[in-house]
Amino acid sequence: MIISIASGKGGTGKTTVATNLAVSLGKGVQLLDCDVEEPNAHLFLSPVFENTEVVHAAVPEVDEEKCNLCGQCGEICQFKAIVVIGNTVLPFAELCHSCGGCMAVCPEKAIREGERVLGIIEAGRSGDLEFVHGRLRIGEAMSPPLIRKVRSFTKPGVITIIDAPPGTSCPVIASIKGAGFVLLVTEPTPFGLHDLKLAVGAVRILGIPCGLVINRSDMGDDRVREYAEEAALPILMEIPFDRRIAEAYSRGRMLVEVMPEWREKFLLLYERIVELAK
């Protein structure tokens, strides 16, 4: 069972929900932090990493001896990542989407696969929990291939919890596609509501069942609850604003560690997810 935790708006509490749910469930759980632009779950779980792997994207490298400047590579490339100018061929590795088109089309077999570093994957454990995250290289624009690499650690037969990035575009899709359930964490504010609606739209395009966690549930207004009712979105948990929670969070401490009574609530949350995902 794969459960992705998403939100639309950033800073609503995705990581809090993902880490506390994972720790409450304990054994037989893996947490994949797919917010590779700004991974945070490790700050709360202090995992011990056993493996680090550099992840590359395939980019063209041209053998100038073989290249006859026919220009077909530049014609097939949709991303302007390789062009023939005058009597030279210029690959732009940063623009390359790794489609392999230039290599496939080159009649002289003058293009081979080089590499661009996307970032790293670190895998390890935090107590009973299996933990994997990706860290996008600073300056790298494309996160989806690194997200897919983090997801390649998904094991069958265990509970996989994915901490997704904010937003509604391709990195989010890469983090929720194929999940059995999407848990949307929101806050009852106009920004929270607006971005929640977008996120629900994206989740529904994929046809995945979803439900809500309302964080800081006593700040703001009632419009998120009204929308949830209209859109038939089950509210699975509410976390009130509590300065103790916010201060503990600021120090990297887990909610279930500071207030152990929340463990039961997260276990209940999981039971409700399982029911809804059926």
Partner 1 sequence: MKELVIISGKGGTGKTSFVAAFASLAENKVLCDADVDAADLHLIMNPAVKERHEFQSGHEAIIDADKCTRCGLCRELCRWNAVREDFTIDALDCEGCGVCVYFCPEKAIDFPIKTCGEWYLSDTRFGPMVHARLGLAEENSGKLVSQVRQEAKKLAEARGFELILTDGPPGVGCPVIASLGGASAVLIVTEPTVSGRHDMERVAQLADFFRVPVMVCVNKADLNLDAASDIQKFSEGKNYAFLGMIPFDPVFTKAMVVGQTMIEYDTRSETAQAVVLIWKALQKEMGI
Residues of this chain that interact with partner 1 (CB under 8 A) are 8-12, 15, 35, 37-38, 40, 43-44, 76, 78-79, 97-101, 104-105, 136, 138-143, 165-173, 177, 189-191, 194-195, 198, 201-202, 205-206, 219-221, 243, 246-247, 249-252
**Residue 179 beta carbon to partner 1: minimum distance, rounded to whole angstroms:** 13
* Residue among 6, 234, 36 nearest 145 (CA): 36
**Residue 107 beta carbon to partner 1: minimum distance, rounded to whole angstroms:** 13
CA distance 146 to 141: 11
> Are 89 and 69 a contacting pair, CB within 8 Å?
yes
**Residue 18 beta carbon to partner 1: minimum distance, rounded to whole angstroms:** 12
Q: Which is nearer to partner 1, 28 or 71 (CB)?
A: 71
**Residue 33 beta carbon to partner 1: minimum distance, rounded to whole angstroms:** 11
Q: Which is nearer to partner 1, 9 or 270 (CB)?
A: 9
Q: Helical H runs in the chain? A: 14-25, 41-45, 72-76, 101-105, 144-151, 170-176, 190-206, 223-230, 243-250, 255-258, 262-277
The three-class DSSP label of residue 144 is helix
Joined together, the tokens standing for residue 9 give 């708006």
Q: Which is nearer to partner 1, 12 or 30 (CB)?
A: 12
**Residue 11 beta carbon to partner 1: minimum distance, rounded to whole angstroms:** 1
* Residue among 117, 120, 93, 95 nearest 36 (CA): 120
Q: Which is nearer to partner 1, 92 or 274 (CB)?
A: 92
Q: Which is nearer to partner 1, 130 or 163 (CB)?
A: 163
